Structure 1
Amino acid sequence: MPRPEPTTARGEETRRQIIDAALRLFEQNGFTKTTMRAIAGEAGVSVGNAYYYFTSKEHLVQGFYEHIQALHRERVEETPRGDSLAVRWQMMELAFVDVAAPYHEFGGKFFAIAAEPTSPLSPFSDESRPARQASTTIMSNLVIGADVKGDKRLMAALPDLLWLAHMGIVLFWVHDRSPGQERTRLLIRRTAPLVERIVALSRLRPLRPVLYPALDLIEELRN
C-alpha cells in the first residue's frame, strides 16, 4: 500500500525532485529499464528515501498523475470561466494542454504502457482512482454555474461524461506532433460548442428514447 504523502514543504520538494528525475529517466531509457535505484541516483537521494516517498515505479507515476491534476486545477481556478458551458469546457481543456506541455514527449513514450488494460498505470485502473476523481471534480466544478440546462439525468452524469471526453482529448494530444499541439487546440475549440449543443438538446423529449438507454449503458459499464 502507498505510504501517506509528506505534508512538509521539504517533503513535497523531495517528492517533486524524485518525480522529475523519474520522468527524465523514463524518457531516456524507457519505463521498464529504469530502476528505483537509478531514479534515486538521478534525484540525488538515497534508495531508501526514494522508497519512503514511492513504494514502486508505478506508485511514482501515480504521483505524477496527481501532480498534473493539481497543476490543472490551479490553472483552471486562475482562468476566468465565463458563463457558457462551451467557454468553460474550452478553457478547461486548453488549460490542460498548457500545463501538460512540458511532458508531451514523455506522454507519447509512456502511452504504450498506460494503454495496457491490466496496467495499474491505466487511467481507468483502481490505482489511478485518486487522479481520476481529482479530474472528475474539475469537470463537476465546470458544470456548476454554467449557463446551460439539460436533461436531469444527463446533467447528473455530465462530469463523468466530460471526463471521458477529456480522455479522448488526451489521447489525441499524445499523438499530436503539430507545433505546440495546435491541432489539439483546434479540436478543443471546434468541439466546445458541440458539447454545449448536445447538452441543451438533451431537454427535448423525443430524444429520451435514445439518450436514456445510452446513459444506462454507460452506467452498467462503469459498475
Structure 2
Amino acid sequence: MTTTGAVESKGAATRALILETAMRLFQERGYGKTTMRAIAEAAGVSVGNAYYYFSSKEQLIQGFYDRLQQEHAEAARQVLANETDLARRLGGVLHAWLDVAEPYHQFAAQFFINAADPASPLSPFSEDSEASREASIRIHADAVHGAATKMDPQLLEVLPELAWLGNMGLCLFWVHDRSEGRTQSHKLVDRCVPVAARLIKMSRYPIAKTLIREVADVAVEFGITRRTGYTKPRSS
C-alpha cells in the first residue's frame, strides 16, 4: 500500500471510529446530552480531530444516514436480484430497511424530534440530507424499474420518489412501534404493499389511467415528488 493509500485508510478508520462512538453515546446518554468533546474523549481522539471529520453533531447524524443507506442497499440486494414481482420487490426493500434500522430503534426517536423540524439539517428533505435521500430514492427506483409489472409511463416517472415517501411514512410508524422486533411495522408492510402494487398495475388500464395520471400531476405540481427520470438499472 502506498503512503497516500495508508493515510486514506487510516483516515477512513478514524472517521468510522468517531461515528461508531457517537452512535453508542447517543444511545447511552441521549442525543441532546452528548457533546462533541465527549465523543472525542470516548473515541480516543482530540476534539480538533473529531471536528476535522465531522463539523457538528448534525453532520455525525448525516454520516449515520449515509451509512444506513449503504446498509439498506446491501440488505435489499438479494431480493432485487432475484424477484421480478413488483409487490415482492417493494416489500423486500421496506423489510430490508426495517431490518437494518432495528438496532437503532432505541434512540431513533431522539433524531426524529429534530428531523421533524423543516428548518433542521437533519430533516430528510433538507439540502444537508440530499446525498442520503437520493441514495434511498435510488433503491426504490431499482425496485420499481426492475419489476416485470407494466404500468403507465407517467406514473413510472414519479413512482420511485412516491415509494420513498412511503418509506418515510413507515419510518414514522416504526419510531412509535413498541412491538417486539417491530413486528407491527413488518405487518404494515405486508398489508399495504400488495394493495399499492395492485393499484400500480391498474394504471395501464384506461379506466384508471386518467385518475392515476391526475394524482401524479398533483404530486409534481405541489412539490410532493418530482419527475425523477430514474431509469431501469443496467445489468452488471
Task: Specify the alignment match of 1:185 in structure 2.
Answer: 186
Task: Specify the alignment match of 2:113 in structure 1.
Answer: 112
Asked whether the equivalents of residues 65 and 132 of structure 2 are also in contact (C-alpha less than 8 Å), the reply is: yes
Structure-1 separation of matches of 2:190 and 2:10? 40
Amino acid across the alignment from 2:86: L
Task: Specify the alignment match of 2:234 in structure 1.
Answer: none
How is 1:53-202 mapped onto 2 (pairs within 5 angstroms)?
53-79=53-79, 80-202=81-203
Amino acid across the alignment from 1:210: L
Task: Specify the alignment match of 1:20 in structure 2.
Answer: 20
Task: Specify the alignment match of 1:4 in structure 2.
Answer: none
How many Å apart are 1:194 and its aligned residue?
1.2
Matching of residue 44 in structure 1 with residue 44 in structure 2: yes
Deviations 1:165-193 (A, max 9, x none): 11111111111111110011111111221
Structure-1 separation of matches of 2:18 and 2:176? 27
Aligned residues: 217
Alignment CA distance shift 1:74-1:209 (3 Å): same
Task: Specify the alignment match of 2:231 in structure 1.
Answer: none
Structure-2 separation of matches of 1:10 and 1:74? 24
* SS of match in other structure, 1:26: helix
Asked whether the equivalents of residues 58 and 122 of structure 2 are also in contact (C-alpha less than 8 Å), the reply is: yes
How many Å apart are 1:204 and its aligned residue?
2.2
How many Å apart are 1:198 and its aligned residue?
1.1
Structure-1 separation of matches of 2:29 and 2:193? 38
Structure-2 separation of matches of 1:81 and 1:65? 26
Structure-1 separation of matches of 2:207 and 2:196? 19
Asked whether the equivalents of residues 173 and 181 of structure 1 are also in contact (C-alpha less than 8 Å), the reply is: yes
Instruction: Show structure 1 runs of 4+ deviating over 4 A.
Output: none
Asked whether the equivalents of residues 202 and 209 of structure 2 are also in contact (C-alpha less than 8 Å), the reply is: no
Asked whether the equivalents of residues 138 and 160 of structure 2 are also in contact (C-alpha less than 8 Å), the reply is: yes
How many Å apart are 1:60 and its aligned residue?
1.0
Q: Note the residue ranges of structure 2 that are not aligned, 5 or more in a row.
A: 1-6, 227-236
Alignment CA distance shift 1:198-1:9 (3 Å): farther
> What's the C-alpha RMSD, in Å, of the aligned pairs?
1.7
Structure-1 separation of matches of 2:137 and 2:8? 27
Asked whether the equivalents of residues 114 and 120 of structure 2 are also in contact (C-alpha less than 8 Å), the reply is: yes
Asked whether the equivalents of residues 23 and 106 of structure 1 are also in contact (C-alpha less than 8 Å), the reply is: no
Structure-2 separation of matches of 1:15 and 1:152? 43
Asked whether the equivalents of residues 85 and 147 of structure 1 are also in contact (C-alpha less than 8 Å), the reply is: yes
Structure-2 separation of matches of 1:9 and 1:173? 35
Alignment CA distance shift 1:171-1:48 (3 Å): same
Task: Specify the alignment match of 2:32 in structure 1.
Answer: 32
* SS of match in other structure, 2:34: coil
